Amino acid sequence: MIKRLLPFLTAVAGLIAGCSAVSAHPHVWVTVKSELVYAPDGAITGVRHAWTFDDMFSTFAIQGIESKKKDQFTREELAPLAQVNVDSLKEYDFFTYAKANGKTIELNEPAAGYYLEFDPKETVLTLYFTLPLKTPVKAKEFTVEVYDREFFVDFSFAEKNPAKLVGAPAHCKLTVVNPEQMNTDLSARLSALAADQRDPTLTIGSEFANKIVVKCP
């Protein structure tokens, strides 16, 4: 049953802790597709995400969820799980950080209408949600970074169509910046962290952020 599901990250930590073959951070892998949403006046109003979780997390997450069709789940059947995900992501600022002209921009909690979809062929869950800007803004340069500072969750942009602009002025240009390869020393440090251990002093995730940069002359 849904009530047996633990919060998003803690639950996954417990799952991985029981898997002796896995010992190092990260423990969850998420493939990201993002859209920047614009108003008719050219102001940015929100960041729309589609996050696809790895098959191990997805398989664990759907355990105990009842469905009318075997191995198939409707949005309604997954709605309680979607809420668990969104509620637990609040603590981590939804791993999404935005700046307009170099200044930090506040994002509100997800707008109504977020949902999960399950792909039975790939056995993966995808969470769809939109983070509205607290105040819509027009900017010559707007950036969005997606990362977990402790690298418990490994985010990476999708290979195809990782990001796009929705309703943006025609002259705005979008660039996707992928993080550099992690060096062996840092990888070893992460390997030393147990599956159920988080290190608040570890903030290297920002150095390996997935970044969207939009420039509007």
pLDDT tens for 84-132 read 889 989 988 999 999 999 999 999 999 999 999 999 999 999 999 999 9
Determine the average pLDDT of the residues in 167-185.
Answer: 84
| pLDDT value of position 133 | 98
Q: What are phi and psi of 119, to 5 degrees?
A: -100, 105
Q: In sequence order, what E strands does 123-208 have?
A: 124-137, 141-146, 153-157, 163-166, 173-177
User: Would you give the DSSP letter of residue 24?
Assistant: S
| pLDDT value of position 204 | 60
CA distance 76 to 140: 40
CA distance 116 to 51: 9
Q: Please give the model's pTM, rounded to 2 decimal places.
A: 0.82
pLDDT at 19 over 90: no
CA distances from 72 to 45, 57, 65, 122, 197 (A): 34, 16, 10, 12, 33
pLDDT at 191 over 50: yes
Query: Virtual CA dihedral for 81, 85, 87, 92, nearest 10 degrees?
Result: 170
Both tokens of 195, joined, read: 């599956």
